Homo-oligomer: A and B are copies of this chain.
Amino acid sequence: MTEDHLAFYQGRKVMITGGLGFIGSNLARRLVGLGADVLLVDSLIPDYGSNLFNIDGIEDRVHVNVADVRQQSTMNYLVKDCEVIFNLAGQVSHIDSMRDPYADLEINCRGQLTLLEACRYNNPGTKVVYAGTRQVYGRPDSLPVTELHLVRPTDVNGINKAAGEYYHLVYNNVFGIRACSLRLTNVYGPRQLIKHDRQGFIAWFVRLAIEGQTIQIYGDGSQRRDFVFVDDAVDAFVRAGADDVCNGEVFNVGGSEPMSHRDLSALLVEIAGSGRVEYIPWPPEKKAIDIGDFYADSSKFTVDTGWTPSVALRDGLERTVAFYRRHWDRYVDPPGRAGGRA
């Protein structure tokens, strides 16, 4: 284990793909603070989550390169000299992946291969930390879920994210590009997309609560999940990028407090002081890819890197609600242009 994973980044050149997105931009803010030379690569595809306001206040301390990770010659150039690459670019909507599986394939499979091929031929000494997902496990056989659980995705997005992860491990094992994957559970916090509801329910619930609208819970809301505040997720990336013990491995990165949708939404309404909760039957297309209860055992990552989640759910939600209230017009389209329920 690196003695000081924070000092590690001083003066180092790092790249974040998807760097204008939710986790990427929060990670950028942290790395800038640690003295890293930060390059953000982002394609700014509408509706995917990138937002130039996400780097408000650090825009003069990062390099932004608008590019698509699927563009091989671009990536061949950009990866040069990067000592650590945080690979967060991706299509993250499960529902979108079932409507257009090809777009998901292009971004989550081809895009990962493009980055890894760029490293293979132009910077094989680099380190890559991939943003994986607990979605690869599908409906769990037992709880909490460890990394020994079968990979059995329930939607196209989960399949392609699994393939993207496997590519990283194979390039680690075969070509010596040091790579690992963090299988994130439900990450929430400031700078997440809230323009539409297709990128996870928690950000959408935050928006509805702030707007004083009705949060619709499918079924009885008893399904339990774990939640990671984005600062904790960022800390996980920072540790994994600095620590070669992670190479060739996958790690769960989950929260410490599993909570039901019912309790979560009640807590959120309480914190926001607005909004209300309604229970409705499952829409068939969502039920078909739902995974029921899920919470992760992250002890492997804790043992290897010392990481633990430090932000309690109440605290994290308070900070999230406060952030969006402060910067509402940066994350929600003006009236008449709202994305609404898709």
Contact = CB atoms under 8 A, between A and B. Distances in A.
Interface of A: 98, 101-102, 105, 109-110, 113, 117, 148, 150-156, 158-160, 162-163, 166-167, 169-170, 173-174, 285, 288-289
Nearest to A166: B159
Q: Specify how many copies of this chain sit in the oligomer.
A: 2
Contacts of A150: 148, 150-151
A101 B163 CA distance: 12
A288 B170 CA distance: 9
B155 A174 contact: yes
A162 B166 contact: yes
B156 A170 contact: yes
A154 B167 contact: no
A176 B326 CA distance: 46
Nearest to A101: B113
The 6 closest A-B pairs by CB, nearest first: A159-B166, A174-B288, A163-B163, A101-B113, A159-B163, A151-B151
Contact of A159 (B98, B101, B117, B167): B167
A151 B105 CA distance: 19
A110 B102 contact: yes
Nearest to A149: B150
A170 B159 contact: yes
A170 B285 CA distance: 12
B163 A109 contact: yes
A110 to B, nearest CB: 6
